[in-house]
Structure formats: C-alpha cells, structure tokens
Structure 1
Amino acid sequence: MRIDMITLFPEMFAGPFGASITKRAVDKGILDIHFTNFRDYSHDKHRHVDDSPFGGGAGMVLKPEPMYRAVRAVLEETAAHAASRRVLIMDPAGPVFTQAKAKELAGYEQLVFICGHYEGFDARIYPLADEAISIGDFVLTGGELPAMVITDAVSRMLPGVLGDAESAPTDSFYDGLLGFPQYTRPRDFEGMEVPEVLLSGDHAKIRQWRHEQSLRLTQAKRPDLLAKKELSDKDLELLQRFAQSEEQSE
C-alpha cells in the first residue's frame, strides 16, 4: 500500500513512523509512505498557505490554491493507483473512525491523507477528498495526529505486517467486540491465578472462553457495541445470563 501525507509538517511523522509496527511494515516493503508539504506549492514570495477568513473571525484559514496544486501533483504522479485509491481529509465534522473503516481502507492500494492546520480549511478544499474522517469529538491542532492513528490501524490489517497472522483478529473491535483478557507467566502472581481453562490445552474450550469473556466485557464496558453486532441465539442467552449474574451480585 502507498500512503501519501499532504501536510505542512512532515517532520511530525518521524517518531511514530520510525518505530514499531509501522517501521517494520515499511522495512518489509508492505507500506510505502510519502510526504508532500503543500507549502512547496504556494507561488507567492512569502510561501503563504493561509489567510484571514472572509467575514472576520479569529485564526487563519488554509487557502485552496496550494492544496489543490499539491493534491493534484500527487494524484498525477500516482495515476497508476487511481482505480484503487482513497483521498481522505482529516476533519472533526467527519464520521468517527472505526475498526470497520480500518478494514475497508486496508483494501485500497493507495491512501492520500489531507492534513489541515490552523483554524481550518477553505470550504472549497473539501471536494478534493473522497470522504472526511474524524478520530473523535475533540479538537486537535492539525490533521497529522489523526492521520497517524488511522495509518497505524489500517496497517495492522495488511497481510504480513503483524508477526502473527492471528494477532489482528484478537484485537478489540476487530469483530465488533472488546478483546478478551490476556495472561502470560507467571501462572500465579500475588494470589492472582491464570484461569485454568487457558492451561488446559483444549483449544475449543479456550476459544469458547475467550468469546464469552469478550461478550462479558463488551456488555459491561461498551454495551453500545452490542447493538451494532449480529448476535447468535447462544450469544444472547449468555448476555442474559451475565446480566442476571450482575444483578444477583449487587
């Protein structure tokens, strides 16, 4: 997958992309990440990319001309990816990013991230993108951090990125539920023991226990997720049993 970041601050990506999973993906040739500073596409002598808003108000607004030139240059340079490419604009007004969206975006050969800064975009910039994405209901200084978050989540979905092919499916939200509890050595730590089923060697029982634990945790901490997931009759029966157990313990 090729990833293009359209940003005023390419240096912000050095730390997060220079270590851990993302770096390994780049080193393996699974990710090919490029940075374009749209200030390089400003044609006035002071290389302005922003200006004061029409109608007054605080802050500065990103101008359309440099952004259009930058994005068009990237799209023309990478025209071979046009059939499998998605242009994303980082915007708090967009739908909130989810694991389902990460899976969807992992199916493209190229993602182009438009990262704003300052007070926001001139409204005429939005048509450049196929869609807007937010990572939550809060305000950040720019779009670089959301672009990093989305890249990290998407890269985990790409074949060969994770050392173990089973790692991604056990992540929280992968199948619409929170992840199950994990344990490692020692078997007994200050009186807290690893559940016996995990030591049994019975993989069918372990899978069932993990699924039940995911259901239990999701019901307790994020019940809103259950409304979005297709549940089996057995799942519904388990959830009812968990709820009754909670009521009895209160």
Structure 2
Amino acid sequence: MEPYRPTPWRRPRRLRRRRSYARRRLRVQLTGFLRTNWWPILAFAGLCAIATIPVTLVLRGYLLGVAHGAVAIFFVAAVRHLFLVYTGSTRELSGAYGEDNTRDVLRQAKRRRHIWNSIDNLEIQSGDVDHLVIAPAGIYAIDSKWHATDLTDAALERDVATARAAARRANLILRSIHLQAPEAQPIVVVWGRGQRHLPEAGSVVGGVLILRGSALRGWLSQRPAGAISQEHATDAVTKLRLFKARVDPSRPPRAK
C-alpha cells in the first residue's frame, strides 16, 4: 500500500480563472465588435491574404516567413486599432495596464516583506476593489489609474471619488467576513504620463493619498510595522480568498 500523501491546497477554479473587471469588459466589447463587424474583417483578411501572393512567388525560405509574419502582425494591429477607435475602449485598456503595473509592484513588495499579501479584483455587486493590500502597517484599498495626459483637477476629483468608493467596498467586505482589522485606507496609484506631475512623496487630495506608480514600492517600504501581525494577515488573506471564490458578481444570482 502506498503511503498517504496529503493533497496540496488549490485555489478554486472560479478564483484562478476570473479576469479583472476591466479585462472582462474589454472581452465583452471585443466579442460584440467582432460579431457586428465580422464581414468587413473577413474581407480585410482576404485582402491581406491576396497581398501575400506576389511575395510568395518572389521570396523563399526565411524571408518568405518574415513577410508572411509581417502581414499577419499588420492585420492583427489594424483590427485592434479599429476596435479601440470604434468602441472607445482605450480607457478600459489603459486601466488594465495600470492594474497590471500595480500588481507587479505588489508582488515585489511581498517578496521583500514590505507587505504581507494582497488580493486583486475583489468584487461585489456595487463595484470592485483593484487591490486590497494587507501590510504590517495596515490595510490599503489601492485604485490603479493610467493617465496618458497631464493630470487635471477634474481627473483628480474623479480618481479620489473612485478610491473612496473602493475603500467603502473593501470595508464592507472586511465586515462581512467578520475580520477584526483596521479600516482600509484609500490610495490612488497613477501610472502613465500623469504621474510626472505628482511629488515623489505623494499628494493628499480630499483625504486620499495619491502616489506615483514608480514611488509605490518605496512608500510601502517606509510604512511603520506593528498594526497587523503575520498570523493575522494569513487569516485575513484566507478569508478574503474564500470570499472572492464564493462571490462572483459577473454571474447572475441563483433563483430561489
């Protein structure tokens, strides 16, 4: 008889595979765009294929593969550009880039033990929390933003309002899982060109801290420890992961 080997813990499928809100919205918009415009896209693909015929007759070997690859890349890039222009999805795409950048910084901060852990894309029916960070200094509800242009007062006000709403959702989630922890503090992390106009130490607008993306890891490393222990953080992360696996706002509620 083989010795008993405990089965390693695995994340639930719904937790592992769920995309962020921004990426899910992009996927829905892309699907709708392709379904609505499949005939022009197919005709454009045919024109690209016809354009490769003279190249195929002239070139051979490696150069022929390069030419075919260039045409394929041109086709994909053109369809992508048309999708962004036609649907106006540039904002969702830039938002996804901002979330990805913040996620990478948080992974580095965890390896350096500047934070205990973080949960991305926590959602309830009223909206989502981009990143809920459990750190020795407390809990942070981070809202990632990408600004390709200069920051304006109106943009900052929108970002502050969004971060406050995300912090309220985070605190509702923390109370719903009966977690004894400090309230989540709202933070806006700005990526892109807009972050150049923020001071290195960040700026406080309406009680909400706004940080450069490039300064996030340094800011986390300077926070004083003592508010949350590692054991408390482990318990919090376990409960939050179970909550995320159980609550899926992207699916309609079951009929009673």
The question of a shared fold, defined as TM-score above 0.5 by the shorter chain, is answered with no
Name the structure with the higher helix share: 2
TM-score (norm 1): 0.29
* TM-score, length-scaled by structure 2: 0.29
